[in-house]
A and B are shown apart, each in its own frame.
Chain A
Amino acid sequence: MGSAHSVPAEMRELADRTGFTSEQIEHLHRRFKQLSRDQLTIRKENFDSIPDLEFNPIRGKIVHAFFDRRNLRPQADGLADEINFEDFLTIMSYFRPIEMDMDEEQLDRFRKDKLRFLFHMYDSDHDGKITLQEYRNVVEELLSGNPHLEKDSARSIADGAMMEAASICVGQMMWQGIDIETKMHVRFLNMETIAHCY
């Protein structure tokens, strides 16, 4: 029997909090059930069943981000073993596109949330700072598949970029001038315009 409607009343609340429409939530719920194999929670192993994800060099960091408690709730920390659908939606909501009716304050908060998500991806020891070593780790993950690139070259590239950024501001990292709102979102297709023929 169809079970797509197991999130009716909470749907309203979820929609308000994460900003997805109820239709999008429904689609994501089906996707969640597919990934979790009809269980209520997802573990890291469930992401192994997505072959296209294997193409991604920072796959490990992306999956890790789902279980990073700092992304799930404000002021939380540590790693979760498994996440439920609400947590899944929370992570997905970092990739929502901006809406036309957002005011300055909302836009600012939006931008900060996305930046914080990326910051957490770099900051793997959860100490609130990105050290040179953590920076190097990310660069190595992105570059390591090239057999002609020696380990030292990857290191020096990371160091060079880090020095440059550090010279702009000492201590913690800042991103400047990057149009993060449009580069870090996933667009849902417009469902209504799909024609159905019988």
Chain B
Amino acid sequence: VVNLLGISITVLFTLLLVFIIVPAIFGVSFGIRKVYMKTLLKIFQWATLRIERGAKEKNHPLYKPYVNGIIAKEPTSLEQEIKEMRRSGSGRALDAPEFELSDIFYFCRKGIETIMDDEVTKRFSAEELESWNLLSRTNYNFQYISLRLTVLWGLGVLIRYCFLLPLRIALAFTGISLLVTGTTVVGYLPNGRCKEFLSKHVHLMCYRICVRALTAIITYHDRGNRPRNGGICVANHTSPIDVIILASDGYYAMVGQIHGGLMGVIQRAMVKACPHVWFERSEVKDRHLVAKRLTEHVQDKSKLPILIFPEGTCINNTSVMMFKKGSFEIGATVYPVAIKYDPQFGDAFWNSSKYGMVTYLLRMMTSWAIVCSVWYLPPMTRQPEEDAVQFANRVKSAIARQGGLVDLLWDGGLKREKVKDTFKEEQQKLYSKMIVGN
């Protein structure tokens, strides 16, 4: 009996694999994932209602994550506030260029406000949800769960870890090995249309399998604006999965540093079939070399569009941070792409200071699904009166607007470094202008 059980499970498993891989090869979809998504949503809503009911019964306040911040910040300027303070205080003339003891109140209050709640620090930790998605990692009100809910959660754990996880790992394994072998084989063919055709399809097929390995449910908008040869595709960056999501719908040339290990093997195999732009570790520091190679690639119209993530680091998908200007100096047409994840089903943000790559991938594969929307925006070129930084900011605003993300001036590098002193000097200049006059 045990033998029979083992055999039937293996057969079932293999059938499932085939059922998933075959459509991936041809790029068709049965819509099963969408049905799965709808069912899950209904279950989550039910779960959240139960928690709220449970909390009400016990008469406890529920923790509600409030995304717009917790304090009311006055939108008045430095000048207005100080004038007001002086008016209500000593009643002195407002244009008298003097320092008042009370002027310090304004700066003090502003400082405490930012300590309580600031725009940037919260971008580097995962977004908080308003309804519970049956993952204990996102639940902050854990003690209000009834028996029924616990059973449901337990069932969820069983499904995710014992059924979905092995299935996904098998798919990922298949996808990656097919990619490596496929591109190596194609690499032996002589250059020509046949090679290109095969290379494109091998890449697309393997990325599609990987998409299914994560149960990623992606909605593409405006596919007519997809990047063309000789262009650069820029997108906001939330996780390494972004690459898989974009590359499963288009044929791109990747840019990046050569790694060791498994990544390195994949990279070396890929470049045999089609010209990706890989840099050695030493070359990455040399900005001119990087710019030169990218320019050469872009000018060759037969080469594929380059895929770049100008933020330079992973942001938690509620905002877009400063774009590094390097890719905008090259002078090619830029095709912006906005990627917005729906955190309900699984948070795709990679907090690299908290989780390593392997832990991150495991978390991804034990989530329910990765749901996201991809918008292809119309191409942009640099105008004659703009410099690279202004162009980068223009592209950034377009992406932020489309994705419904907050457009921030700050640099993603703030995840790890301090702010420069120049910002403090700005406020000092403003205040001193007020006191002393120009």
Q: List 18 A-B contacts (CB under 8 A).
A: A35-B121, A50-B118, A51-B419, A52-B119, A58-B108, A58-B111, A62-B111, A142-B432, A146-B429, A146-B436, A157-B435, A161-B101, A175-B102, A176-B89, A183-B85, A183-B109, A186-B71, A196-B64
A191 to B137, CA, bound (A): 24
List residues of B (12-70) whose CB comes within 8 Å of A's CBs: 45, 48, 61, 63-64, 66, 68-70
Q: Which of these, A5, A153, A180, contacts B436 with CB under 8 Å?
A: A153
Q: Which of these, A27, A143, A176, A194, contacts B431 with CB under 8 Å?
A: A143
Q: Can you list the 7 inter-chain pairs with the closest CB atoms, starting with the nearest?
A: A145-B428, A2-B140, A146-B432, A145-B425, A62-B111, A54-B419, A143-B432
Give the interface of A toward B (CB within 8 A): 1-2, 4-5, 22-24, 26-28, 31, 34-35, 47-59, 62, 92, 95, 118, 121-122, 138-139, 141-149, 153-154, 157-158, 160-161, 165, 173, 175-180, 183-189, 191, 194, 196, 198
Q: Which of these, A5, A31, A183, contacts B105 with CB under 8 Å?
A: A183
Q: Contact check, B432 vs A52: say whether CB atoms are below 8 A apart.
A: no
Q: Contact check, A1 vs B428: say whether CB atoms are below 8 A apart.
A: no
A93 to chain B, nearest CB (A): 11
Closest A residue to B140 using CB positions = A2
Chain B window 406-438, contacts with chain A (Cβ cutoff 8 Å), 1 for yes, 0 for no: 000010001000111101111111011101101
B80 to chain A, nearest CB (A): 13
Q: Which of these, A142, A157, A191, contacts B104 with CB under 8 Å?
A: A142
A6 to chain B, nearest CB (A): 11
Q: Contact check, A161 vs B100: say whether CB atoms are below 8 A apart.
A: yes
B131 at the interface (CB under 8 A from A): yes
A52 with B428: in contact, given A2-B142, A175-B101, A198-B48 (CB under 8 Å)? no
Closest B residue to A23 using CB positions = B61
Q: Contact check, B98 vs A28: say whether CB atoms are below 8 A apart.
A: no
A114 to chain B, nearest CB (A): 9
Q: Contact check, A58 vs B142: say whether CB atoms are below 8 A apart.
A: no
A54 to B425, CA, bound (A): 9
A183 to B316, CA, bound (A): 35
Q: Contact check, A52 vs B99: say whether CB atoms are below 8 A apart.
A: no
A178 with B414: in contact, given A189-B71, A196-B130 (CB under 8 Å)? no
B131 to chain A, nearest CB (A): 6
A158 to B98, CA, bound (A): 8
A142 to B420, CA, bound (A): 17
A5 with B70: in contact, given A22-B61, A186-B112 (CB under 8 Å)? no
